[in-house]
Chain A
Amino acid sequence: MKTKIIILFFFSSVFLFGCKDEVQPERTGEMEFVFRNKVNTLPLAQNVGKYSNALGEDFVVTTFNYYLSNFELVKDDGSVYTIPKDESYFLIRGNDGTTSDFAISNIPEGDYVALRFSIGIDREKSMSGVEERVGDLDIVDHADMYWSWNPGYIFMKLEGTSSKAPESPSGDRIFRYHIGGYGGYDQETFNNIRTAEINFDNTKAILREDKTPRLIVGANVAKLFDGVNTISIESNPTIMFAEKSIEVADNYEKMFVFDHLHNF
C-alpha cells in the first residue's frame, strides 16, 4: 500500500511538471511560391520570343536568372514572419522551371497580406567562408552566377540577342547584363541589393497546417529596360561591374509584381 502511494505520488508529480513545462507548439504550415517571367503582360518565351523595348529595340532573351533572398511574410495584423536566413536563398533560372516553383515550410499559421524579399545576396553571405556556400549558393555548381576574380554573386543575369547589339567576330549580336555588387569587402563599392514588396492586392494568403496557399509573382523583364531608368541595348550592350549597373538594379527593384494568389 505504501509503495503504491509512493508510485502514485511519483507519477503525479511527473505529470504535474510535464503539464507545467509544456508550451503549446505554434501550428505551422507551408506556402508555395511561383515566379513567372514575363514581358509586360505576356509570358516570356525564352530563346524564341521576339520583343521590343520602349526605345523600339528588338530583343530575344537567352538567359534570365536572378537570386532572391531573405523572404519575409507580413500578416494582416502587421506583424512579420522572417524565414530563417539560410533557408531563404533562391536562384531562379529562366530555363529551369523547377527553380521558379518552390515551397517554404514551418511558417506560422496566419492570414498573410504581403511578401518582402531581397534581390541579391546580402554582404554577410557574400563574404562568408566557402563552407557556408551550399545549395543555390554553391560557387562551383553555380559558377555562372558568381564572379571569381572579384568575388561576389551575380544577382541578375540577362543575356540575349538584338539587332542593336554590336556584331561579334563570330557574327552574333549579343547583349549582356550581369548585375551584382554587395558593397565591397574592405573598400566601399556600389550596393545593388534591392528589396521588393509584393502586396497581395487586398486578398489574404490563408495559411494553416492543412491549407497551403500558392502565390504567383510576375517578373517583368521589360522593366529592366523601361523602368525608373531607360536602358538602351544600343548604347549599353554590356553592363557588368560598373556604375551603370546601379541603373539596372534600380529597374529590377520594380520588376516584380503580384500576379495572383490561390487559397485551398
Chain B
Amino acid sequence: MPKNLITNNPYSFIMVASMLILAPIFFIACDDDDAPPPLSISFEQPSHFPEPSYHFDKNPVTTAGFLLGKKLFYDGKLSRDGSISCGSCHIQAAAFAHKDHDLSHGVDDLLGTRNAPAIQNLAWRNSFFWDGGVHDLDLLPLSPIENPVEMDESPATALDKLRNDDEYPAMFEAAFGSEEITSTRFLQALSQFMTTLVSANSKYDKYLIGEQDLTTDELEGLQLVEEKCASCHSGVLFTDQSFRNNGLPIFFLTDKGRALITLKTEDEYKFKVPSLRNIAVTAPYMHDGRLWTLADVLEHYNTGVQDHNTLDSILKQGGNLGIALTEQEKSKIISFLHTLTDQEFLENRVFAEF
C-alpha cells in the first residue's frame, strides 16, 4: 500500500528523493558535536577575580548589545575616510594591543604619540588611557574617534553614517528596543563589547584554581614577581592602577603623562601601571612602545632606570636605582610571564572580526 501511495502521487518521487538527499545532511548536523549553540553573551565574573567596577546596573551586557558593539568596534565607518576602526590598532591576537607597533598610525598614516594598550579586563579598571584622563569606559571611544591622528571624525558625523546604514538601525532595535541611534546607545554598545573581553583562563589562572601545575622555573618566576614586581603589578589583575614614573630616560620625552590631566608637577612623566596579563604577546612595551622584548624591559629595571624628581620611590631604595636582577632571575620571571598568556582569549572566535 505505501508503495502505491508513493507511485500514485506525482510529488512523491520528489519528496522521497529530497528526503534521501537531505537526510544525511540532517543526520550529520544532528550528530555534530561542534555545531555552535545559539550565541548567548553575558558578562561572566571569573570566580577568582574581584568585583568589577564597571556599572553593569546601568548597562547590562546582552547578546544583541554585544554584537552591535562588536560590529562598531570593527567598523571603519567611525573614521573620517573609512580606513581605521578600533580593531585596526587593537588586535585580538595581541590581547587587543597593537602588535609590532611602538606607535600606531591613524588616518592618512599619521602617527600617534602613545602605544595602543591591550583591551582586556576593562570591567575592573577605574581609569583609562596611559594618563588616566577618562574615568568611565562609556566616555572613552569619543577620544580616538575625534583624535586627528587616529580616526579624525566628528562623532556626530559618525552617528549619522550609522543612521543611514542598511544594517545598524535594526541592530540598535535588537539591542535597545527601537531603531533610534543615540550617543548613549552607541557608547553603551561599545562598552558591552569591551567589558566582555575578559582574560581569566591563562595557565596561571588554571594554576590558581587548581587545574594545572606550574613548572619549577615558572613557580620560581612567580615568587620573584611577587617579591620584585608586585608592589605595582599587584593582585590577580597584575596592576594597582596607579600612575608612576618608572625611570625611562626622559631626554627625548615630551609627553608629561599624568600631569597633563592633574596639572601637577609631581605627576610629570607618570603613566598608568599596565597589567602583566598576556604580556608575552603585547610587545612592544612602555607608554611609547620603546622596548621591544621582555628581556629589554627587565634589563631596563635592572640597569636602565634614570633618576628624576618624580621617579617612583620603589625604584630608588637604599640609594640604588632600579631593581637588581640576575640573568637567571630574569629568565625565570620571563618563564612565569608566559603563563599569563590566555590562548582561549586570544583565539576566541566570538570576539574575532571575521
Interface string of B129-141 (1 = CB under 8 A from A): 1000111101100
Q: How far is the CA of A150 from the CA of B267 in the complex (A)?
A: 15
B142 interface residue (CB < 8 Å to A): yes
Interface residues in A141-190 by Cβ distance below 8 A to B read: 141, 143, 146, 148-151, 184-187, 189-190
A129 interface residue (CB < 8 Å to B): yes
Q: How many residues from A make CB contacts under 8 Å with B?
A: 25
Interface string of A40-74 (1 = CB under 8 A from B): 00000000000000000000000000000000000
**Quick one: closest B residue to A128, CB to CB?**
B136
Q: How many residues from B make CB contacts under 8 Å with A?
A: 31
Q: Is the interface of B mostly helix, strand, loop or mixed?
A: helix
Inter-subunit contact A187/B262 (CB<8 Å):
yes
Q: How far is the CA of A233 from the CA of B260 in the complex (A)?
A: 23
Inter-subunit contact B142/A143 (CB<8 Å):
yes
B146: A residues at CB distance < 8 A: 143, 148
Inter-subunit contact B139/A184 (CB<8 Å):
no
Q: Do A129 and B261 form a contact, CB below 8 Å, given A143-B156, A148-B142, A151-B139?
A: no
> Which of A133, A184, A189, A241 makes the CB contact (< 8 A) with B184?
A133
A148: B residues at CB distance < 8 A: 134, 139, 142-143, 145-146
A130: B residues at CB distance < 8 A: 136, 138-139, 183-184, 187-188
Inter-subunit contact B260/A131 (CB<8 Å):
no
Q: Which 9 A-B pairs have the closest CB atoms?
A: A140-B183, A148-B142, A148-B143, A187-B262, A140-B155, A130-B138, A150-B133, A185-B135, A131-B184
B154 interface residue (CB < 8 Å to A): yes
Inter-subunit contact A186/B183 (CB<8 Å):
no
The residue among B133, B138, B263 with the most chain A CB atoms within 10 A of its own CB is B263
Q: Do A151 and B135 form a contact, CB below 8 Å, given A139-B142, A189-B262?
A: yes
B3 interface residue (CB < 8 Å to A): no
A143: B residues at CB distance < 8 A: 142, 146, 154-156
Inter-subunit contact B260/A150 (CB<8 Å):
yes
Inter-subunit contact A129/B55 (CB<8 Å):
yes
Q: How far is the CA of A189 from the CA of B135 in the complex (A)?
A: 15
B159 interface residue (CB < 8 Å to A): yes
Q: How far is the CA of A141 from the CA of B136 in the complex (A)?
A: 19
A138 interface residue (CB < 8 Å to B): yes
Q: How far is the CA of A143 from the CA of B138 in the complex (A)?
A: 15
B186 interface residue (CB < 8 Å to A): yes
Given contacts A187-B264, A241-B263, 10 further A-B contacts (CB under 8 A): A129-B138, A133-B184, A134-B184, A139-B155, A141-B183, A143-B156, A148-B142, A151-B134, A184-B261, A189-B262
Interface residues in A233-251 by Cβ distance below 8 A to B read: 241-243
Least Cβ distance of A169 to chain B in Å? Answer: 14
A127 interface residue (CB < 8 Å to B): yes
B349 interface residue (CB < 8 Å to A): no
Least Cβ distance of A25 to chain B in Å? Answer: 34
B183: A residues at CB distance < 8 A: 130, 133, 138-141
Interface residues in A106-152 by Cβ distance below 8 A to B read: 127, 129-131, 133-134, 138-141, 143, 146, 148-151
Inter-subunit contact B159/A149 (CB<8 Å):
no
Interface string of B52-80 (1 = CB under 8 A from A): 00010011000000000000000000000
A185: B residues at CB distance < 8 A: 135
Q: How far is the CA of A33 from the CA of B147 in the complex (A)?
A: 36
**Quick one: closest B residue to A184, CB to CB?**
B262
Inter-subunit contact A190/B263 (CB<8 Å):
yes
Q: How far is the CA of A127 from the CA of B59 in the complex (A)?
A: 16
Q: Do A140 and B142 form a contact, CB below 8 Å, given A127-B135, A149-B133, A151-B133?
A: yes
